[in-house]
């Protein structure tokens, strides 16, 4: 029982708002429908598999960088949050969301139908709203988060790619 309560507190900080719960519910609902698409879609193409594996890589990298210090499924920032800027977070502020987007892109590539594309767009909008909400909270909690936003990208490491090319 004690362990279950610890997990609940880790996933849902004290200051959870209705907006964050709704955004999280929508996210999981879309992911559920995407998983149904994968199950019914047959064996994935090679390109889809590349996106799926990259999705797993991003998710594992994010968990490793945070070491479960700040893991929440809702975008509310806990009182004892720690700002993580190492590992994958050096380049991407929301690698867990990026992981979900790469998974969804893999599904779109594999099935390329209108329903899957619509689910991807809805997921992208939901995660954008969720990340924006979370970043407002993080700016209030961590004074140097604004500087971090200037040196990293929200979902895709565009600034890093441009720096490497120059």
- Whether the per-residue pLDDT at 68 is higher than 70: the answer is no
> For residue 116, which phi and psi values (nearest 5 degrees)?
-65, -40
What does the pLDDT look like over 71-125, one tens digit per residue? 778 888 887 888 899 999 999 999 999 999 999 999 999 998 999 999 999 999 9
What would the two tokens of residue 73 be?
Answer: 């499924």
pLDDT number for residue 77: 84
Mean pLDDT of 35-41: 86
- Whether the per-residue pLDDT at 166 is higher than 60: the answer is no
Q: Where are the alpha helices (DSSP H) in 67-113?
A: 95-111
What confidence tier does 12 reach under pLDDT thresholds 50, 70, 90? low
Distance CA(48)–CA(42), nearest Å, equals 12
- 16 backbone φψ class: left, alpha, beta (φ>0; ψ -120 to 50): beta
Share the mean pLDDT of the chain.
86
* CA atoms in the 13 A half-sphere facing the CB of 72: 23
- Whether the per-residue pLDDT at 9 is higher than 70: the answer is no
- 87 backbone φψ class: left, alpha, beta (φ>0; ψ -120 to 50): left
Nearest to 152, CA basis, from 106, 86, 105: 86
What confidence tier does 57 reach under pLDDT thresholds 50, 70, 90? very high
Distance CA(133)–CA(70), nearest Å, equals 16
Which residues partner with 92 through β-bridges?
153
């Amino acid at each position: 029982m004690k362990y279950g309560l610890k997990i609940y507190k880790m996933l849902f900080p004290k200051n959870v708002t209705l907006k964050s719960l709704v955004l999280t519910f929508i996210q999981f609902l879309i992911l559920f429908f995407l998983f149904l698409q994968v199950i019914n879609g047959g064996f994935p193409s090679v390109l889809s598999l590349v996106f799926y594996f990259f999705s797993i890589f991003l998710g594992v990298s994010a968990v490793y960088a945070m070491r479960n210090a700040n893991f929440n499924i809702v975008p509310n920032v806990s009182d004892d949050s720690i700002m993580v800027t190492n590992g994958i977070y050096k380049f991407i502020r929301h690698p867990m969301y990026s992981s979900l987007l790469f998974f969804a892109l893999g599904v779109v590539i594999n099935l390329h139908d209108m329903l899957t594309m619509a689910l991807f767009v809805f997921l992208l909008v939901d995660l954008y709203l969720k990340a924006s909400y979370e970043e407002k909270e993080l700016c209030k909690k961590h004074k140097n988060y604004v500087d971090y936003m200037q040196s990293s990208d929200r979902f895709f490491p565009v600034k890093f790619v441009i720096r490497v090319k120059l």
